[in-house]
């Protein structure tokens, strides 16, 4: 079976319809299933990766993402956001000795943040954004 790749627009339309019926979708896999079920026809089957779907949901103005995570290795260096791939911003603090120390990393695109103990995303919950 060949899978068709839906356009961003097709995915956005499917998301809009899904969030008319649901306020919350409990996982990325569930959302993926709902989206492909909406897009699939008798003749065409669609496939979308979780990462792509997540990024389209983040970009939309009506879906909000909640990131569930576990603690990761504090020594691991994060240069990009593990959720959406954007560059992470550093939140610095001055130490009493006059130096600077990075205490937090934040993503301005999707809202991911992490402190010294790296937060590793494990599950995503998708919400309808309240207007
Ligand atoms: Zn991000």
Q: Write out pLDDT tens, residues 39-72.
A: 999 999 999 999 999 999 999 999 999 999 999 9
Q: How many whole angstroms from 35 Cα to the centroid of ligand 1? A: 22
Cα(112) to centroid(ligand 1), Å: 5
Task: Kindly give the distance from the C-alpha atom of residue 68 to the centroid of ligand 1, in angstroms, as a whole number.
Answer: 13
With a cut of 80, say whether residue 131 has pLDDT above it: no
Q: Averaged over 24-34, what is the pLDDT?
A: 97
Is the Cβ–Cβ distance between 9 and 48 less than 8 Å? Answer: no
Asked whether residue 73 carries a pLDDT value surpassing 90, the answer given is no
**pLDDT tens per residue, range 94-123:** 777 888 777 899 999 999 999 888 999 999
Q: What is the pLDDT of residue 106?
A: 93
The conformation of residue 88, written as its DSSP 8-state character, comes to: P
pLDDT at 90: 87
Q: Which residues are CB-neighbours of 69 under 8 A, at least 6 positions away?
A: 119, 120, 121, 122
pTM: 0.86
- What's the gap in Å between 74 CA and the centre of ligand 1? 19
Q: How far is 82 from 67, CA to CA, in rounded Å?
A: 11
What is the Cα–Cα distance from 46 to 68, expressed in whole angstroms? 27
Cα(85) to ligand 1 centroid in Å equals: 6
> 3 C-alpha to center of ligand 1: Å?
28
pLDDT reported for residue 96: 78
Residue 55 CA to ligand 1 center (angstroms) comes to 9
What percent of the chain has a predicted confidence (pLDDT) above 70? 99
Whether the predicted pLDDT of 77 surpasses 90: no
Q: If you measure from the C-alpha of residue 58 to the centroid of ligand 1, how many angstroms do you get, rounded to a whole number?
A: 9
């Amino acid at each position: 079976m060949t899978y068709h790749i839906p356009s961003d627009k097709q995915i956005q339309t499917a998301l809009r319809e899904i969030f008319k019926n649901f306020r919350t979708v409990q996982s990325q896999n569930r959302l993926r299933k709902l989206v492909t079920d909406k897009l699939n026809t008798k003749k065409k089957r669609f496939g979308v990766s979780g990462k792509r779907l997540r990024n389209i949901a983040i970009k939309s103005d009506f879906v909000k993402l909640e990131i569930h995570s576990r603690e990761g290795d504090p020594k691991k260096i994060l240069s990009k956001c593990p959720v959406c791939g954007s560059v992470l911003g550093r939140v610095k603090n001055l130490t009493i000795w006059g130096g600077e120390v990075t205490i937090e990393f934040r993503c301005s695109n999707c809202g991911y943040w992490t402190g010294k103990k790296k937060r590793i995303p494990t599950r995503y919950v998708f919400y309808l954004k309240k207007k």
